Structure 1
């Protein structure tokens, strides 16, 4: 049986947090030696970790001091103690995940322990979600949709000036203003928006990850992409809708219809055992057949396809695997976003994003919100 280590700061390392159960801001490590799971944490955190983790034992660096002593630096001391703990059990080889800090690898090596990399450790075990994790994601997505509805209705219900610019309360309605409003609404619901938000329209939306800037205008589509983290669980929501104030043009209506059809095609293909690349291709083919070119890495004036179909989601906003060309088989219980889009400098962009749970049959859509362009109440 392989001996394993994950280490770092659980507040930012989702795989470590998932094992410790506490988002620690101090260095920590998770060791697996034979069948024993050991949490190595600061002495002040031992009781909390005992109550939250699935560890067989919880210990602290002071209990595993090497002959040379422990450093006064906490991260160094934790790495020294991890190495000493393995050494004391006659472990000569440990398997690490992609996030292992070099300080831990270095101290293991200094103790004569070989570190072997496993690209699936901390990835494969997180891909398939438990029912509890799916509930956490559904809760985060419900909050996301609640704020999304409010933001889209705010844009749709704004006043318009003679020059076509949107206003609320006599002040211009800007991308920045909507993002600030959304951030406040999320804070009031126990969520944070550390990655910000996207409220983008032409011409900036041609860059599909541009967060958006400037005054919003009537008849021009606005992509609203919100992705908060529920601080009570640390799981993420992620939802995109497109709103048009006033009447959309025929070009925008055609874009929207194609994106809706692409989302339906990819969703129908999102079944356990299917290749992620084929799931992406199902939607991309719909967009291509509707006359839209693929133009990755090159911004275009007219609508084009700029990205893959979606990504895994959980304790990180973007988790493996991607729904894109070359992607492997999807697993029952995985949770993905499905978010086809079209983007151009002149007419703007359309993107619609749902969160779905993979099953052996039809994927389960967590979203409840409509995906139309009209958000007038």
Structure 2
């Protein structure tokens, strides 16, 4: 996989690959090993180390932390070009073209304004995910990072569910110390729990009741007894940038018979999918297997029911290759994937369960250890 980018550059008849972005772009962080909030330039020629171009104030840190050759913008000639070009994008494009030495290959999310300026000096070709393909097969260090993140996620889930379990009830509305236990409060407590341990989480889901029928409703209002609560946590380890992802559905009290039946079917569907996972199986095959499982058990899979993909890759991005969907391609040993079947009905609510683990030649090495029980 490590030569995928070089092959793509050569296939495109380009001289170099160029990224212009901050390290919030997973491809930039993956290729450079460097984190910065401002946009930087990464230029990669085939069969050579990549070059990272940063502001002068970041040069020493980049030399210490990145896995690239490092130049300041001054070293790269930007300020010389800026003397003759009134537009800084034009100056930057001239700098890139001179360092690249020919046509350039850029990712699909490359800034269009810079691409237009580059076209004055060379041809610009668009790459379709070469670095994401490289990122999809994890190294031992990457696998360890995701395992650490999932261990923290297990602990955060236990913390959240214990909070619901031990809350007082006021006519079916849960409260802690006579203060309503709301979705917002629960999410903030989960995120603070993780932050204290070196992980960030955002857009955490803690939905309740009718909200659970909307897969990505984050939750609003008081957590209720006898209603489904979907908790979906997908934090990132601050130090490494690697994510994990898990979901549990619980009911404090007595679930409806419909939710109870849905839960059993979703659990069985997840176990069925996990039993089929191994390298060379396609994401489409796994998705279709779960779709058929739900239909055989009497659940709709169109406008309601199972209305999203079965899962996705996880790494420096929370959603990345491979996909467990109708377009899902062959899995490879070293992929880390989340498996998350769910059923959603406006009349009854929703149920989702999600585990994460490693694809191997022989099966699925599940990282998620937290128990599964509907009633708490």
TM-score, structure 1 normalization: 0.90
C-alpha displacement at 1:308, in angstroms? 1.0
- How far off its partner does 1:72 sit? 8.7
- Retained in 2: the 8 A contact 1:176–1:213? yes
- 5 Å-filtered alignment, 1:323-362, equals 323-362=324-363
Deviation sequence 1:21-79 (CA, Å, 0-9, x none)? 11122321221224222222222222322233332x22122223377435698776544
Q: Tell me the secondary structure at the aligned position of residue 249 of structure 2.
A: strand
What residue in structure 1 maps to residue 215 of structure 2?
Answer: 208
Contact 1:40 1:60 in 2 (8 A): yes
In structure 1, what is the Cα distance between the partners aligned to 2:229 and 2:219?
Answer: 9
Return the alpha-carbon distance in structure 1 between the equivalents of residues 352 and 153 of structure 2: 16
Matched, 1:40 2:53: yes
Q: Note the alpha carbon deviations across 1:274-302, whole angstroms, 9 max, x for none.
A: 1111111222222221111013xx4x5xx
**Match for residue 139 of structure 2 among 124, 130, 142:** 130
SS in structure 2 of the partner of residue 146 of structure 1 = helix
| 8 Å contact from structure 1 (residues 156, 374) kept in 2 | no
Give how far 1:251 is off.
Answer: 2.2
**Structure 2 CA distance for aligned equivalents of residues 374 and 4 of structure 1:** 56
CA contact under 8 A between 1:313 and 1:335: conserved in structure 2? yes
Partner Cα separation in structure 1 for residue 18 and residue 147 of structure 2: 28
Say if 1:136 and 1:357 are closer, same or farther in 2 by CA, change over 3 A. Answer: same
Distance 1:5 1:265 in 2: 42
Gaps of 5+ in 2: 1-9
CA distance in 2 between partners of 1:128 and 1:104 (Å): 31
- Corresponding residue number in structure 1 for 2:248: 241
Separation (CA, whole Å) in 2 of partners of 1:228 and 1:259: 23
**Structure 1 stretches of at least 4 aligned residues deviating more than 6 Å after TM superposition:** 71-76
Aligned residue pairs: how many?
A: 361
Query: Post-superposition shift, 1:211?
Result: 0.8
Cα gap change, 1:126/1:74 in structure 2, threshold over 3 Å: closer, same or farther? farther
Q: CA shift at 1:229, angstroms? A: 1.4
Alignment of 1:266-285 (within 5 A): 266-285=273-292
Deviations 1:339-370 (A, max 9, x none): 00111223221111111111111111011111
Structure 2 CA distance for aligned equivalents of residues 140 and 98 of structure 1: 29
Measure, in 2, the Cα distance between the counterparts of 1:193 and 1:264: 27
Q: What residue ranges of structure 1 are gaps of 5+ in the alignment? A: none
Quote the Cα distance in structure 2 between the aligned partners of 1:3 and 1:72. Answer: 27
Hey, what's the Cα distance between the residues in 2 that align with 1:224 and 1:58?
43
Cα RMSD, aligned residues only: 2.0
